[in-house]
């Protein structure tokens, strides 16, 4: 059924780049999520407003528009303001945009997981003389991971599908390569269907990894 | 920054906004009509009923929407002869039809899973009570299960509608002139990239928060008896 005239290797190369884009974007999203959650929960009014604006804007603008804005818009904006000529490489622009978008979603995940850590534990840690960094590293982080894992798993699942949009800025990931293969083989249905099954496989693998990670994070927790 | 290009493009962007709203409304409406029977089948005990819906939902939720759109719009070309013979080619030729078809199937999959969550969250006692009053079959669904499931699922459904509204931006890739399509066309002709894309983003922000506002109002109304 999947006789795509030797273009299978092209799809395989695309998958590798898709996973790479996914992993880098997820790393950026997790970092931004921590910063955003800190902002949302911080006492400083400016940080709260900035984090609120960040999640509000991201929730209301489509990913495609963000990608086009970053890849085509930001270089021209910089050119207009500073009069320097820069070009983004599609890989950097892609992971920056997708990381930035899903950073807003992880912000909400981390905010929720911070609030799920019981207040008494934080007080107890402070009372035993831990400073903020030690408190974060020893008390908050290990427990926040556990509460955040289901949410982060969902973010990853949506993120890996969103990487298909990077194909519009000509990054040769799975979707773009399926496009190229479909044009040269004149078998568009076969090529796109093969690509869709590969995405499905990525989802299934991610789901099973997520289950294992959650089981690992919940070890030692007594369940009713 | 070129303000005049933004001003000139506003009427065209408004026209694009109409297309975006049309696509969203049509897909959401038909998608919901499909999602209700799908959710009923999905929660049924009979595997012959829930298995096909499970497979459908799994495929449409597990693959990117962009792949689905390309699969329908470009992929149908591979079966041109067959489709011409059956008289369906005139539909698949149209980008508009392919866009609505894909968006509808996609939202039907997400919505039916949301409704399934709602149906499964109904307390068993309520259904038992309805059965004890002599309700069964369609009456039970119409009076008890579906209204309750909709109330429970409404916040999640609001999110789905917002996601679909944003997802319609992908149809610009198959040449439909929605907000994103207009912005891309004007930007590539005038080289005013960030001006156009920021304006398009503002259009979407207004639409998204407008939808959220309306759906919150509806939520307030439909939850009135439950508070």
pLDDT in tens, B167-208: 999 999 999 999 999 999 999 888 889 999 999 999 999 999
Query: What's the pTM?
Result: 0.91
Question: Collapsing DSSP states into helix, strand and coil, what is residue B136?
Answer: coil
Residue of B nearest to A78 (CA): B194
Nearest chain A Cα distance for residue B146, angstroms: 27
Q: Sign of dihedral through CA atoms B110, B111, B114, B119?
A: negative
A80 contact B CB<8A? yes
Residue of A nearest to B65 (CA): A161
Nearest chain B Cα distance for residue A67, angstroms: 10
Alpha-carbon span A122 to A64, nearest angstrom? 41
Instruction: Give the mean pLDDT of chain A.
Output: 91
Task: Verify whether the Cβ–Cβ distance B201 to A178 is below 8 Å.
Answer: no
Which domain CATH number covers B199? 1.10.3720.10
Alpha-carbon span A145 to A99, nearest angstrom? 19
Q: Residue B46 phi/psi, 5° resolution? A: -70, 120
| ipTM greater than 0.85 | yes
* Per-residue pLDDT, A3: 62
Alpha-carbon span A194 to B157, nearest angstrom? 31
User: Tokens 């005139």 correspond to what residue?
Assistant: B90
Alpha-carbon span A70 to A74, nearest angstrom? 5
Dump pLDDT digits (tens) for A61-84: 999 999 999 999 998 888 888 888
Domain ranges of chain A: 24-169
Chain A partners within 8 Å of B62 (Cβ): 199-200, 203-204
Task: Verify whether the Cβ–Cβ distance B184 to A57 is below 8 Å.
Answer: no
Write out the two tokens for A131. Answer: 């400073």
User: Tokens 């369906």 correspond to what residue?
Assistant: B88
- Report helix angle A141-162 to A188-217, nearest 10: 180
Out of 3.40.309.10, 1.10.3720.10, 3.30.1490.20, 3.30.70.2740, which CATH number does the structure's domain A24-169 have? 1.10.3720.10
B209 contact A CB<8A? yes
Task: Give residue B97's domain range.
Answer: 3-226
Alpha-carbon span A212 to A205, nearest angstrom? 11
How many domains in chain B?
Answer: 1
Task: Verify whether the Cβ–Cβ distance B166 to A196 is below 8 Å.
Answer: no
Task: Verify whether the Cβ–Cβ distance A59 to B208 is below 8 Å.
Answer: yes
Residue range B19-25: mean pLDDT, rounded: 96
Q: Are B204 and A66 in contact (CB under 8 A)?
A: no
A34: Cβ–Cβ under 8 A, 6 or more apart, which residues? A106, A110
Write out the two tokens for B74. Answer: 């470009």
* pLDDT at B136 > cutoff 90: no
């Amino acid at each position: 059924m999947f006789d795509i005239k030797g273009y299978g290797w092209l799809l395989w190369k695309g998958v590798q780049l898709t996973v790479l884009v996914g992993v880098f974007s997820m790393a950026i999203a997790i970092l931004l999520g921590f910063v955003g959650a800190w902002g949302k929960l911080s006492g400083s009014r400016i940080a709260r407003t900035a984090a609120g604006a960040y999640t509000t804007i991201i929730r209301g603008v489509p990913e495609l528009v963000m990608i086009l804005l970053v890849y085509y818009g930001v270089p021209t904006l910089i050119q207009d303001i500073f009069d320097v000529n820069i070009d983004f490489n599609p890989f950097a622009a892609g992971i920056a945009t997708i990381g930035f978008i899903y950073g807003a979603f992880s912000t909400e995940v981390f905010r929720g997981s911070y609030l799920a850590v019981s207040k008494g534990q934080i007080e107890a840690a402070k009372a035993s003389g831990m400073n903020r960094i030690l408190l974060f590293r020893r008390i908050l982080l290990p427990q926040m991971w556990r509460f955040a894992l289901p949410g982060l798993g969902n973010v990853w699942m949506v993120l890996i599908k969103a990487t298909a949009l990077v194909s519009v800025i000509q990054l040769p990931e799975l979707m773009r390569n399926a496009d190229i293969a479909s044009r040269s083989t004149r078998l568009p249905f076969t090529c796109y269907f093969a690509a869709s099954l590969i995405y499905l496989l990525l989802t299934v693998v991610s789901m099973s990894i997520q289950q294992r990670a959650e089981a690992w994070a919940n070890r030692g927790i007594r369940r009713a | 920054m070129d303000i005049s290009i933004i001003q000139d493009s506003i009427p065209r962007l408004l026209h694009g906004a109409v297309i975006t709203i049309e696509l969203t409304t049509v897909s959401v409406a038909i998608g919901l009509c499909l999602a209700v029977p799908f959710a009923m089948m999905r929660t049924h005990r009979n595997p012959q009923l829930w298995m096909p819906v499970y497979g459908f939902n799994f495929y449409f939720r597990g693959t990117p929407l962009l792949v689905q759109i390309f699969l329908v719009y470009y992929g149908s070309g591979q079966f041109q002869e067959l489709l011409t013979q059956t008289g369906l080619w005139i539909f698949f030729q149209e980008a508009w039809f392919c866009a609505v078809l894909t968006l509808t199937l996609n939202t039907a999959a997400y919505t039916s899973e949301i409704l399934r969550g709602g149906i499964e969250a109904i307390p068993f006692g309520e259904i038992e009570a309805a059965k004890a009053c002599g309700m069964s079959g369609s009456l039970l669904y119409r009076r008890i299960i579906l209204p309750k499931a909709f109330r429970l699922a409404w916040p999640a459904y609001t999110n789905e509608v917002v996601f679909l509204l944003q997802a319609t931006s992908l149809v610009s890739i198959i040449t439909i002139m929605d907000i994103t399509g207009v912005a891309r066309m004007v930007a590539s002709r005038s080289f005013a990239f960030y001006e156009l894309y920021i304006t398009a983003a503002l259009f979407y922000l207004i639409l998204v928060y407008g939808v959220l506002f309306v759906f919150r109002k509806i939520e307030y109304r439909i939850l009135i008896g439950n508070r």
